[in-house]
Structure 1
Amino acid sequence: MIVRIMGQGQWVMEPEHLLELNELDRALEERVEAGDEAGMVEALEALTAGVRRLGVEVPDDVIVESDLVLPDIDVSLADVRELLASTTQYYGLIPDADEDTPDL
């Protein structure tokens, strides 16, 4: 799976990384639901740091389509709320890591 962080690049993620990223994603969703903008930024920073730590960066000279796109940390609470609302009830920004998750 290829994850793009807006303004930062792309990373190749392995399916086993979704478990950890899902925990970070849930924390982000909780902060957004609570209307906690500072907490949302902190959670989004943790999520994007997790992607960078777990994934393998795609070189700048390689062009690949992203499976997931995460916003940059300067995004507003309203924008993240809208982004979350556009996903299904079973996903946050990161697909759930279980057998029912479609291959990306």
Structure 2
Amino acid sequence: MIVRILTEGQYEVPDSLVDHLNQLDNAVLASLDSGHEEEFRVSLNALLGAVRTGGEPVAHDYLGPSDATLPYADATVEEVRALLKPDGLIPG
């Protein structure tokens, strides 16, 4: 799976990490629903950190599509809501 972090780049994430990313995605969604800004920041940073540490950066000249697009770390709640798809930020 190719995951793009806005303003940062793309990462190739192994299939073995997708379930964990979906758990972290669910935490982001729950924090958005609850309206807790601090929980939102913690869960978003955990999701981004998991992509950065578990994925491999994709070459800058790669022109293929991303399977998921994540916000940058300082994104607002409104910016994250704009990126949401029916199944969250991470497909599946």
1:73 matched to 2:69: no
- State the aligned residue count: 92
1:92 matched to 2:88: yes
Question: Which letter does structure 1 place at the counterpart of 2:72?
Answer: D
Structure 1 unaligned blocks of 5 or more: 97-104
Moved more, 9-18 or 53-62: 53-62
1:24 matched to 2:41: no
Deviation at 1:71, TM superposition (A): 0.5
1:54 matched to 2:54: yes
Normalising to structure 1: TM-score of the pair? 0.78
Normalising to structure 2: TM-score of the pair? 0.87
Identity of aligned residues (%): 38
Question: Which letter does structure 2 place at the counterpart of 1:95?
Answer: P
For residues 61 and 89 of structure 2, the distance between their equivalents in structure 1, rounded to whole angstroms, comes to: 26
For residues 37 and 64 of structure 2, the distance between their equivalents in structure 1, rounded to whole angstroms, comes to: 32
Question: Which letter does structure 2 place at the counterpart of 1:60?
Answer: H
| Stretches of 4+ aligned residues off by more than 6 angstroms | none
Deviation at 1:11, TM superposition (A): 0.5
SS of equivalent to 2:46: helix
Match of 1:5 in 2: 5
Give yes or no for contact 2:70–2:83 (8 Å, CA) kept in 1.
no
Question: Which letter does structure 1 place at the counterpart of 2:9?
Answer: G
Q: Deviations over 1:45-86 (max 9, x none)?
A: 1101001111111122433322211010111112223333xx
